[in-house]
Structure 1
Amino acid sequence: MSRVIVSDHGQAREISLDAFCAETDHAAFSWIHADGWREDAQAVVSRCDRMPEAALSALLAQETRPRCTLMAHGALINLRGLGAQDDAVGDPLVSIRLWAEHARVISVSYRPLAAIEPVMQRMLAGTIQDPGDLIAAFAQEITEALDPEVAELGDTLDEIESSLSDSGAAEVRREASKIRATAISYRRFISPQRQALERLSAAEAPWLQPDDRLHLQEAADRCARMAEELEAVRERSALAHEELTDLRAEQMNRQALIISVVALVFLPLTFLTGLLGMNVDGIPFAHEAWAFWGVVGVCGVMAAGIAGWFAATHWLR
């Protein structure tokens, strides 16, 4: 659902979509947020005759990546952050598209972004009074929400690395693969988001105040740190996965060695019992009372001798 908030000298209020054209042109600052899946999103951007055609189409585009592009009298900013709902479909980070110009910001999102509601509350409280404040607030809310998520990936990987020798290697390997995939997905958007925020903080825009630039630069620095940490998590998870695979292969090799040793112990015994079990005349001591136990004793001595040889040559280690 589309929402419109206007602010006049620190006093903010929410108005209907039908009234925004009449009021926003006279308001000190207005923010219009539209749901991209609804028809009113097209109505919102179509009423903005001062917006370049390229910015209009970019606002309604479904596939985006973080960027900052200066156009005419405004700027197009795409950001990515955590979603307000757990959704297994689509990218793990939800996008928001913003067109910022003097006294007005228009934003469009196709999936609910977790940062939208806190930013709206801040604007209704009167702490956001211009486009620079709004974009800086989005950057701060997004990075503050992402920071603990990235830290949790590292903490989970620490637990995995400390439990590499545990018996549940298959589950740990799947968890390491999941962490690596999440780190790659996050870094794919966080790294260009840092560049977008840095470019916006250095942009020559009259609606960007010095404190806005500081907040944007701070958010960009946090994105840079998160991108570095995600890269480290990706490399560490890959190493942990390889170590788990090597551990699994070593266990399988050890089990195969034990099976081979047992087979080698019983191979001469099988040959001896098979030879004496032939139904032909002339087998020595075939009719003696002690013959069976004699064969058992010989087999036992042979098995002990072969096992002792394996132990002496360190095959069983």
Structure 2
Amino acid sequence: MPGESAFPEAQRFAPYVLVYSYDATAVTVRRYDVLGAGDPVLAAGKVNWVRVVGVHDEAFVRAVGNRFSLHPLLVEDVLSTGHRPVLEEYDTGLFVLLRQLGYNESAKRVLAEQVSLVAADGYVLTFQEREANIWDGLASKLEKGGCKLARRGREHLTHALVAAILDEYILTLGRLAEDIEELEQTILSGGGSETLTETYRLKREVLFLHRSLWPLREVLGRYLVDDSGAADPGVAFLWNDIRQDVYQVLDAVETLREMLSEMVGLSMTKAELRMNAVGQYLTLVATIFLPLNFLVGFFGMNFDNLPLKSETWGLYALIGFMGLTTLGMAVYFYRKHWLENTKVD
């Protein structure tokens, strides 16, 4: 179901820490599979991206939290996956908790992974559930040393990490929109009852996207208002850019919600039209048989002096009259264009 761990498989790798230390001239990468006293080590005078890969080992995550003097509540948020988006300021720095989204094309499901970020003096600390995620591309660019980010500071790294997640939201929405448009064409071409079930399923997926993003819009708004007087103009510009990205994604989510709501209404309307067509068809059949039932009932009465009863050709005359009655009513209905409106998909 939407909202549960979208990557439900158990993590089977041992958690580790990658530290990317960079400035305008060089980038170094160090890996820590085991944390000793004082690990991971941060490079002085450089921007340090401390990337914790795997949060399923509680002891390992708490060791990282102790190393960076993280607030206990912050560590609990990191360990407990499934939270709503959070943006809070602690004594140790800024804490951002988000859902990284993906899309499973075969199952047509929105996938979610909780990621966390702590931005403080001299470092940016991130936590991720899976061994591989969308930050791999950013890390690869840093290692090559050719990206503009290597010549910028911690604030730009924070912005790049959050922006990468929001970019993935847009890609996920694009794939989801393709499936919704395909389903819409199926409904318009006369899809069966299973299309309504699929529409409701996709509607739940879009609702999950909305729940994942709407709180972020609120917390970003409060953060920018509270920090507007003291924040550096450049930093404020970066966070405003993130807020605009969130608004853009939310607008796209709202569009998809409206599309799905209209599709549900369209499916219900088509179902009602089919039921009306069936009812009209049955009504016409009953109307045609009504005079036939009258004739059969009339000549079936137990009286000896009924017309045609004593004649040898009476039965054939009655059958012929019934046939002409049926044909006449059918021609009348056809000329009234009633028979053309009784097609049932």
TM-score (norm 1): 0.82
Out of 166, 189, 205, the residue aligned to residue 143 of structure 1 is 166
> SS of the residue aligned with 1:46?
helix
> SS of the residue aligned with 1:37?
coil
CA distance in 2, matches of 1:6, 1:53: 25
- Indicate the residue corresponding to 2:19 in structure 1: 5
Deviation at 1:63, TM superposition (A): 2.7
AA of the residue aligned to 2:114: S
AA of the residue aligned to 1:147: I
Checking the alignment, whether the CA contact within 8 Å between 1:82 and 1:142 is kept in structure 2 is yes
AA of the residue aligned to 1:62: T
Out of 234, 237, 243, the residue aligned to residue 220 of structure 1 is 243
> Deviations for 1:45-96, whole angstroms, at most 9, x for unmatched residues?
2333x222332222222231112101114111112222497898x9733221
CA distance in 1, matches of 2:79, 2:105: 23
Q: Which runs of 5+ in 1 are unaligned?
A: none
> Deviations for 1:235-274, whole angstroms, at most 9, x for unmatched residues?
1210121022111211221121111110121122123224
The question of 1:46 aligning with 2:66 is answered: yes
**Aligned residue runs from structure 1 range 85-124, under 5 A:** 92-111=111-130, 114-124=133-143
- Indicate the residue corresponding to 1:261 in structure 2: 284
CA distance in 1, matches of 2:222, 2:21: 27
CA distance in 2, matches of 1:231, 1:190: 11
- Indicate the residue corresponding to 1:247 in structure 2: 270
AA of the residue aligned to 1:3: V
**RMSD after superposition:** 3.4
AA of the residue aligned to 1:42: R
CA distance in 1, matches of 2:20, 2:300: 100
**Would you say how many aligned residue pairs link Structure 1 and Structure 2?**
313
Cα distance change of structure 1 residues 85 and 114 upon mapping to structure 2, 3 Å threshold: farther
> SS of the residue aligned with 1:62?
coil
Cα distance change of structure 1 residues 227 and 84 upon mapping to structure 2, 3 Å threshold: closer
CA distance in 2, matches of 1:263, 1:228: 52
> SS of the residue aligned with 1:21?
coil
CA distance in 2, matches of 1:314, 1:199: 64
The question of 1:77 aligning with 2:91 is answered: no
Cα distance change of structure 1 residues 315 and 297 upon mapping to structure 2, 3 Å threshold: same
* Range with bigger deviation, 33-42 or 129-138: 129-138
> SS of the residue aligned with 1:15?
strand
TM-score (norm 2): 0.76
Cα distance change of structure 1 residues 298 and 252 upon mapping to structure 2, 3 Å threshold: same
- Indicate the residue corresponding to 1:60 in structure 2: 79
Deviation at 1:276, TM superposition (A): 3.1
CA distance in 2, matches of 1:296, 1:314: 27
CA distance in 2, matches of 1:2, 1:213: 33
CA distance in 2, matches of 1:300, 1:84: 62
Q: Which runs of 5+ in 2 are unaligned?
A: 1-14
- Indicate the residue corresponding to 1:187 in structure 2: 210
Deviation at 1:162, TM superposition (A): 5.2
